[in-house]
Amino acid sequence: MADHFEVNEVTKKLPKHLHKFIVKQPYSEYTAQNQAVWRYVMRMNIDYLSKVAHSSYISGLKKTGISIDNIPNMDGMNRILKEIGWAAVAVDGFIPPNAFMEFQAYNVLVIASDMRTINHIEYTPAPDIIHEAAGHAPIIANPEYAEYLRRFGEIGSKAISSSKDYQMYEAIRLLSILKEDPNTPLNKVAEAEKAVKDLQDNMGELSEMAQIRNLHWWTVEYGLIGTVDSPKIYGAGLLSSIGESAWCMKKEVKKVPYSIDAASANFDITKPQPQLFVTPDFAYLSLVLDEFANTMALRNGGLTGVNKLIKSENLGTIELTTGIQISGVFTKVIQYKNNKVAYIQTQGPTALSNRDKELIGHGTSSHANGFGSPVGKLKGINLPIEDMSPRDLKAYGIYEGEFMNLEFESGVVVKGKAITGTRDLRGKILIISLDECTVTYKDEILFQPEWGIYDMAIGKEVVSAFSGPADVASFLSMGKLSSTKTHKIVYTDKEKQLYQLYAQVKELREHKTATNKNITTIFNELKTKFQSDWLLCLELYELALQNNLNIKNEILARLNELKCNKSYTKLIENGLILAEIK
């Protein structure tokens, strides 16, 4: 087991291919200003969200052990989250959608460990620890919502992507990283924004993953609950944004009843949302999710499902009526009348499984160069091979040691000597292995004897098609890390001096040692060297007010001066209200 994250009853169940996405939380890298930003946002949220958020939010903060004053430590969160059957791991920004969903399916909350800068205190396009820990975690304490989230991950991880989906993921990841780094040149941000917009405008037909991502956005991230006229907030994107949580309640933001239509409603991650969906309750979320799952290849299979996998150009699985599962990168399908599947073909490492467990002798080392098999019934024989008894099999010449000539309804012909068969626990035949085998379709040769043993999967139809492998242990290297890493912000000496002042104020507050002398000293240095910093000024005023220090009026006057900058006006006014309440 990896040593870069805490192993407990929940995280020990994570498959190994997900371990690569987990990073060690860089707690020592959080600056004192980062801690002050966390505290400001959390205090604002609790004051405002207690009025507009779903009732589970405030009680969930307590249940999940999230502090108002300090950025949460992942290990501490885990000790409390395990009480409700969940865990948390740190990741590096956005991770691929399928991996994100899969973590959820294992009851693991992925938390982007970076912390938003003061310039993005109201909203950040990048996932950060405020969004994940303070947004997602509290609502998970609601059992009905937690089950929805787990089930969403289970279904969402099976959604089939298009090749453009991964391009979009990489483009959004890059844009969020660039926008969060204050040192990024504006032209680089503009280029990244254009790349995202160009992709958004040319995505074509929405894939299953694009649709499930839309459902996720309009519920888990930006969901409202209750009635259209009087909704409450439960989406993490709203709960973690002091700007959008206020904006979303205004009449300018259209509120519509939540339905499966949300799957077709795209979003722009770089802008406030002009329309939001309202679910009547958490149970209804699961009903819509199930309705959408009924449209997926996961539950329908068929030619459409195989074609979705081919279009995705990624690892996927099809399941036949016998229960045999073929996992690999699908490159070809032959179809015949009534849109039926006649033959499927993968390229590269392929594994065969049954009930999500790899069949012995049929892993990627045995099928390193791909796998192909006919699907369907034999010509002129109404009884499918899978339903044949041993007597039936013998009657049709399908048994070990016999040279067979099997012609399928589709026109696929398999000729060869049967050498063995693989059955499931009920005795149903899953695979027939043949030597000296030739497989043809019309004039096309699909397999020839010199290629070795031919393993023919048995099944009359494709009943399911989904993203990823049937057995996660078959492809330990699946899922790639993005080559675009989040930026470690480089601070100037002057910025470091400012953060030392923040640290001093934090210590005075925690140890209750604020005096007129030490607050005045810090305030004078702040006023002289860091004229535009408003947040530390607010913290100083709060301490001066609490302790009734003489310097309080001078600090207030300074804050009123800073309010002239429209970027700070509302932030300072809100902070002053909090200070007065305290």
Q: What percent of the chain has pLDDT over 70?
A: 97
CB 194 within 8 A of CB 171: no
Confidence of residue 156 (pLDDT cuts 50, 70, 90): very high
CA angle centred on 144, ends 140 and 150, rounded to 5°? 65
3-state secondary structure of 64: coil
The two structure tokens encoding residue 271 = 């802008």
Mean pLDDT, to the nearest integer, of 139-157?
94
What pLDDT shows up at residue 194? 87
Mean pLDDT, to the nearest integer, of 151-171?
88
CA–CA distances in Å: residue 250 to residues 52, 228, 279, 465? 12, 12, 18, 43
130-134, 250-254, 426-430, 500-504: range with lowest mean pLDDT: 130-134
Query: Cβ of 535: how many Cβ atoms within 10 Å?
Result: 19
Q: Tally DSSP H helices, then E strands, for the chain.
A: 21, 18
Mean pLDDT, to the nearest integer, of 424-441?
91
Q: Given the structure tokens 């004078």, which residue do they identify?
A: 524
Q: Beta partners for 318?
A: 326, 465
CA angle centred on 123, ends 119 and 126, rounded to 5°? 90
Rounded CA-CA distance 502/518 in Å is: 13
Question: What's the pLDDT tens digit per position in 212-221?
Answer: 999 999 999 9
Amino acid at 271: K
Crossing angle of helices 208-216/282-293, nearest 10°? 180
281 φ/ψ angles, rounded to the nearest 5 degrees? -160, 175
The two structure tokens encoding residue 131 = 């969004």
Question: Is pLDDT of 482 > 70?
Answer: no
What torsion do the CA atoms of 531, 536, 538, 539 make, to the nearest 10 degrees? -150
Sheet with 254-257: strands ordered across: 231-233, 224-226, 275-279, 254-257
Mean pLDDT across the chain? 90
Question: pTM of this prediction?
Answer: 0.86
CB neighbour class for 551 (10 Å; exposed up to 12, middle 13-18, buried from 19): buried
Question: What's the pLDDT tens digit per position in 364-415?
Answer: 999 999 999 999 999 999 999 998 888 888 888 888 888 999 999 999 999 9
Q: Which H or E element spans position 213?
A: helix 208-216
Question: Is pLDDT of 60 > 90?
Answer: no
CB 344 within 8 A of CB 462: yes
**Positive or negative, the Cα torsion across 201, 207, 211, 217?**
negative
CB 226 within 8 A of CB 282: no
Class of domain 11-290: mainly alpha
What pLDDT shows up at residue 59? 87
What pLDDT shows up at residue 393? 87
CB neighbour class for 185 (10 Å; exposed up to 12, middle 13-18, buried from 19): exposed
Q: Which H or E element spans position 42?
A: helix 32-52
Q: Given the structure tokens 């030739």, which residue do they identify?
A: 438
Strand-strand pairing, 462-467 and 315-320: antiparallel
CB 313 within 8 A of CB 348: no
What pLDDT shows up at residue 116? 84
What pLDDT shows up at residue 480? 65
Question: Is pLDDT of 123 > 80?
Answer: no
* Domain-wise residue ranges, the chain: 11-290, 313-474, 493-581
Instruction: For residue 260, give the nearest of 301, 212, 300 by alpha carbon.
Output: 212
What pLDDT shows up at residue 483? 64
What pLDDT shows up at residue 478? 60
Question: What's the pLDDT tens digit per position in 523-559?
Answer: 999 999 999 999 999 999 999 999 999 999 999 999 9
Question: Is pLDDT of 430 > 70?
Answer: yes
Residue 260 neighbours by CB under 8 Å, 6+ apart: 288, 291, 292
Confidence of residue 278 (pLDDT cuts 50, 70, 90): very high
Mean pLDDT, to the nearest integer, of 5-18?
82
Question: What's the pLDDT tens digit per position in 512-524?
Answer: 999 999 999 999 9
Instruction: For residue 336, give the nearest of 377, 281, 367, 290 by alpha carbon.
Output: 377
Amino acid at 200: Q
Q: Beta partners for 445?
A: 440
Q: What percent of the chain has pLDDT over 90?
A: 57
Rounded CA-CA distance 244/181 in Å is: 21
Residue 555 neighbours by CB under 8 Å, 6+ apart: 519, 523, 537, 540, 541, 544
Q: Beta partners for 418?
A: 434
Rounded CA-CA distance 69/43 in Å is: 8
Query: Cβ of 68: how many Cβ atoms within 10 Å?
Result: 13
Question: Is pLDDT of 234 > 80?
Answer: yes
What pLDDT shows up at residue 1? 44
CB neighbour class for 181 (10 Å; exposed up to 12, middle 13-18, buried from 19): middle
Confidence of residue 117 (pLDDT cuts 50, 70, 90): confident
Question: Is pLDDT of 113 > 50?
Answer: yes
Mean pLDDT, to the nearest integer, of 454-466?
97
